[in-house]
Amino acid sequence: MIHENLLQVEEKIQRACDNGKRSRKDVTLIAVSKTKPIEDIYEAIESNIMVFGENKVQDLVAKMDTIDKPVEWHFIGHLQRNKVKYLVGRVALIHSVDSFRLAEQINIESKNKNVVTNVLIEVNMAREESKYGVMPEDAESLIHLISKLTNIKVLGLMTIAPYTQNAEENRNYFKNLRKLLVDINAKNIDNVIMSVLSMGMTGDYTIAIEEGATYIRVGTGIFGAR
């Protein structure tokens, strides 16, 4: 079933790229395997998926320790400072930095391991009480502060749009995240040139692609309901 789902998802990605005049190679599909068993991940790998996302540190570490294929892991969930050490040096990208304290901890662990950790700033575009992420107006100052840290690099922005039956309702959040990225780039902050937009999930990834997503995070659409 995962194979068939992936064929469908790929078709929809291609159509959205066409609609948005995007090149398919500029959009990376992250298969969100959270709560799903190892066998499902291997099935996706069989279908040439090599980028996976998880939202719990413990689950991610268990899966990284088990899967013996050269896959790329992304951390997409809320991150506590005491768990940063389990991720640094092992994940390609942390999508969910939303405070300077967290960034500082990532920087400390990265220095210890002599690596530079790539991160995105999570922005709460819809200003939902229940969500993590910085408010849009606070993103620039946070990025400015983080830009002074030597072992952490901000590659772009991430958002989790509201759950909705009608994905069109989220179009403006995606459009505005892209605008925010362009605006912050225009400030010419030293060491900051952002190019990554992580936005769009099963319900709304086609809209996100039309609005400039470079990473889409798709779970249910690939692995089925959780």
Ligand X SMILES: *Cc1c(COP(=O)(O)O)cnc(C)c1O
Q: Is 220 in the site for ligand X (CB under 6 A)?
A: yes
Q: CA distances (Å), 84 to each of 28, 68, 78, 180, 201, in order?
A: 24, 23, 11, 27, 25
Please pick, from the candidates 34, 36, 63, 178, the single residue that binds ligand X as defined by CB under 6 A. Answer: 34
Which residues, at least 6 apart from 141, have a Cβ–Cβ distance to it below 8 Å? none
On whether the CB atoms of residues 123 and 159 are closer than 8 A, the answer is yes
Residues 212, 171 contacting (CB under 8 angstroms): no
Contact 162, 126 (CB under 8 A): yes
Q: Does 153 bind ligand X (CB under 6 A)?
A: no
Q: Does 221 contact ligand X by CB under 6 A?
A: yes
Cα 159 to its chain centre, rounded Å, is 8
What are residue 217's phi and psi, to 5 degrees?
-115, 105
Among 32, 41, 103, 134, binds ligand X (CB under 6 A): 32
Q: From the CB of 218, what's the least distance to ligand X, in Å?
A: 5
CA 60/CA 197 separation, integer angstroms? 22
Q: Does 201 bind ligand X (CB under 6 A)?
A: yes
Identify which of residues 20 and 77 has a Cβ nearer to ligand X in the complex. Answer: 77
* Site for ligand X, residues 5 to 24, rule: CB under 6 A: none
Judged by CB, which is closer to ligand X: 47, or 202?
Answer: 202
CA-to-CA distance for 78 and 132, rounded, in angstroms?
A: 7
Quote the least distance from Cβ 53 to ligand X, whole Å: 7
54 phi, psi to nearest 5 deg: -135, 155
Q: Which stretch binds ligand X (CB under 6 A): 38-46, 100-108, 139-147, 215-223?
A: 215-223
Q: Which of 110, 193, 189 is nearest to 152 (CA)?
A: 110
Binding segment toward ligand X, per CB under 6 A, in 60-68, 129-137, 168-176, 218-226: 218-226
Within 41-60, the residues that bind ligand X by CB under 6 A are 55
Q: Per-residue x/- mask for ligand X, residues 63 to 82, rule CB under 6 A?
A: -------------xx-----
33 in contact with ligand X (CB under 6 A): no
Rounded least distance, CB 188 to ligand X, Å = 30
Residues that bind ligand X (CB under 6 A): 32, 34, 55, 76-77, 160, 201-203, 217-221
